[in-house]
Amino acid sequence: MKLLPYSLLPLLVICCYSTAVHAKIRVSNEKLEVGETVRLSFSAPVDSLTVTYRPSSSVSKQEFLVISPPASSTEWSPQNPGLVQLSYQDRSGTHPTTVSHNISVRFRGFSSSGVAVMLLAFIILFGGAGFAFRTLFQRQDT
Amino acid sequence: MSNKRGNWNSKLGFILAASGSAIGLGNIVFFSSNAYQFGGGAFYLPYFIALFVLGLPIMMMEFGMGTITGKSFPLALRELAGQRAEFVGWWSLISTMFIIAYYVAILGWAFGMMVGAFGSLFEGGISAPFTPFETPTEGPNAMVYFFSILATWWPIVFIFIIWGLNILILRKGISSIEKAVRVFVPLMWLFMIGLVIRGLTLEGGFDGVMYLFTPDLEGISDPSVWRGAFSQMFFSLSLGMGIMTAYASYLPKDADQVNNSMLVSFLNCSFEFIAGIAIFSLLFVFSLNPAGSTLSLSFFVIPQGISELSSIPWITRLFGFLFFFLIVIAGLTSTISLIEAPAAALIDKLKVSRKKALTMVAIPCIIGSVLCTLPIIVDKGLAGNGTLGLSILDITDHWVFSYALLIVGLLESIAIGWILGAEKLRQALNRYARYQLGVWFNYLIKFVVPGLLLTVILSSLWEERGSLYGSGADMVGFNWLPVFIPIFWLTISLGFAFYLTKKPYEA
């Protein structure tokens, strides 16, 4: 079935759930900031790693890390803040499976554009509601 | 403020009811999902444009139709634009009844999860009779718990509880609705603010908020972002379902519908704003992906985050209970308005009692709700939806929710903009408005709104061209459903709309 924006299908989560459960990616520091280097460990040696910033979105970005020679750990430094999915193909079983791990990369300090958008949206929405409330009660008073 | 149809006791009561109707399940999670998928803060650009050029004008039009005529949706359309417009109104309301049927089913599952918060929702060792979930889980797993409920007959008990609550609230009409929303709507805000506080006090929670609002402008050029924003605004404000016209028909004729529309729309969007903060802070801390459907986010992803909120079990259970209680009351304030819209129309047209009108709406909808909760397993491997009930719900939702409401919005804007004349509506709205609408309002109703809605409808249909929705999954014994459901919906809704339009009417 298609996963349209308004569909109630749970497929997306099921896909995430059904990835290999035994093979795992471990991150030396789960509370990392953008630009900070961490060590990634795998259950078995891997030759490449896919890093997806903002996965399952229309603005997701990918980078491929080639690990040569194949190793069971490597260093990685996130380029962007936000949700990042790390994944690789595990070929140790009869069928290759995708092993993935999500990690939240924190901002280094404040995101000025984020704070600006938040304040602007807050002012428009709550300001608009407050203004309309005032008008409503003014009319009730008169 | 008195006539036979009843009236709101206060303007605040009306505002609470209308905003409660608009704020539903989708507001809690859907905005977050869209914002995540379409570039965080960048999504606010199309979102605000959609609010001002689509949401607010249609809201003003639907409110205006109610107060100008003092009638429910189909009869208001008839009075303003003729009998053919009445047909559109009935088609909208019959389609709304399909939505009521599955919406109550979703609330039934939410009720089950709410009860489960103090049961085994946040415990390990759960399994469900589907291939991926047959082995008991090591820790809490909300998705497995949900499917374990789905495969039992319990949801049918839960939907009868939800239906009982709806009938209880609706039995005395506008007075009992007002009493309920005076409790439920402030509670919704209170619980959501509680979730925001909890989310922000988690380590890394504020980074989640910055992630929500930091704009990624690359996505803005993608047409799907704009389509997503316009659709979200239309559905989020409960437009095209006749609800706002029915509620506004219980207001006095001198109500300021320009201001009321602004208030309800801004309250709705403000709720989405704080819900976004709560959801993003929570999901970011636990590295959970906010992209997904309303169902997957509400029932699997957020409860999974809640399960990690505290090491003290009763706090986790309490937050889980409150989250699903929030979903149930947000849903209830929407279902009462969804049921009231066709009930009010039947009372107006057929001159039947409220009890009889509610029965006429409730019986087919209850049958629909039961069908949507049938636990018969049709897809054990969960390549699709698993049970017959969820499959029926999903396909019905796809057709009715994605198309009927938008088509009604398009047709009503044509009826009011071109047949009645947008200028007449503008003058009627301006008569009691503190802030006057300019001529730009006419252009929005006549050209911009129909143009936007037509674009969204056609682009959605274009995406359907590959295969019929639902035909990709193998539903053992029920592979005919993807063909049957849209035909059934169209036949029933158009047939009854024709029948009710042809019924004689005396004002």
This model of the complex carries an ipTM of 0.91
Chain B contacts in chain A segment 60-79 (CB below 8 A): none
Beta-carbon contacts of residue B181 (< 8 Å; ≥ 6 apart): B13, B16, B17, B20, B333
Chain B contacts in chain A segment 19-58 (CB below 8 A): 30-31, 54-58
Minimum mean pLDDT among A102-116, B80-94, B213-227, B256-270: which range?
B213-227
Confidence of residue B473 (pLDDT cuts 50, 70, 90): confident
pLDDT of residue B221: 82
| B chain contacts of residue A5, beta-carbon cutoff 8 Å | 34, 228, 231
Bridge partners of A26? A41
pLDDT of residue A12: 43
In this prediction, residues B128-132 reach a mean pLDDT of: 93
Residue of A4, A30, A125 for testing the chain B interface, max B β-carbons within 10 Å? A125
Residue of A4, A31, A57 for testing the chain B interface, max B β-carbons within 10 Å? A57
CA proximity to B269, closest of B34, B445, B22: B22
Query: Measured between alpha carbons, how far is B331 from B110 in angstroms, rounded to an integer?
Result: 9
Looking at chain B, which residue has its C-alpha nearest residue A102?
A: B287
Confidence of residue B273 (pLDDT cuts 50, 70, 90): very high
Query: Measured between alpha carbons, how far is B426 from B423 in angstroms, rounded to an integer?
Result: 5
Chain B contacts in chain A segment 78-107 (CB below 8 A): 81-83, 85, 102-104, 106-107
| A chain contacts of residue B384, beta-carbon cutoff 8 Å | 1, 9, 11
| B chain contacts of residue A81, beta-carbon cutoff 8 Å | 207, 210-211, 214
Residue of B25, B31, B193, B210 for testing the chain A interface, max A β-carbons within 10 Å? B210
pLDDT of residue A50: 95
| A chain contacts of residue B210, beta-carbon cutoff 8 Å | 81, 107, 110-111, 114-115, 118
Q: For a pLDDT cut of 90, what percent of chain A falls above it? A: 63
The more confidently predicted of residues B178 and B383 is B178
pLDDT of residue B372: 97
Confidence of residue B347 (pLDDT cuts 50, 70, 90): very high
Burial of residue B291, with CB atoms counted within 10 A of its CB: 0-12 exposed, 13-18 middle, 19 or more buried: buried
In this prediction, residues B249-257 reach a mean pLDDT of: 94
| B chain contacts of residue A102, beta-carbon cutoff 8 Å | 287-289
pLDDT digits (tens, 9 = 90+) for A35-64: 999 999 998 899 999 999 999 888 899 999
CA proximity to B294, closest of A74, A11, A44, A8: A8
Q: For a pLDDT cut of 70, what percent of chain B falls above it? A: 99
CA proximity to B252, closest of B6, B507, B57: B6
Binary contact (A117, B215; C-beta < 8 A): yes
Q: Contact at 8 Å (CB) between B46 and B220?
A: yes
Does the pLDDT at position B384 exceed 70?
yes
The more confidently predicted of residues B475 and B506 is B475
Confidence of residue B497 (pLDDT cuts 50, 70, 90): very high
Residue of B36, B109, B396 for testing the chain A interface, max A β-carbons within 10 Å? B36
The more confidently predicted of residues A15 and B425 is B425
Binary contact (A12, B398; C-beta < 8 A): no
Looking at chain B, which residue has its C-alpha nearest residue A123?
A: B270
Looking at chain A, which residue has its C-alpha nearest residue B466?
A: A2
Does the pLDDT at position B462 exceed 80?
yes
Query: Measured between alpha carbons, how far is B343 from B5 in angstroms, rounded to an integer?
Result: 12
pLDDT of residue A139: 62
pLDDT digits (tens, 9 = 90+) for B110-125: 999 999 999 999 999 9
Does the pLDDT at position A1 exceed 60?
no
Binary contact (A58, B222; C-beta < 8 A): yes
Minimum mean pLDDT among B33-47, B73-87, B403-417, B437-451: which range?
B33-47
Confidence of residue B183 (pLDDT cuts 50, 70, 90): very high
Least Cα separation, residue B226 to chain A (angstroms): 12
Amino acid letter, A34: V
In this prediction, residues B380-395 reach a mean pLDDT of: 92
Confidence of residue B145 (pLDDT cuts 50, 70, 90): very high
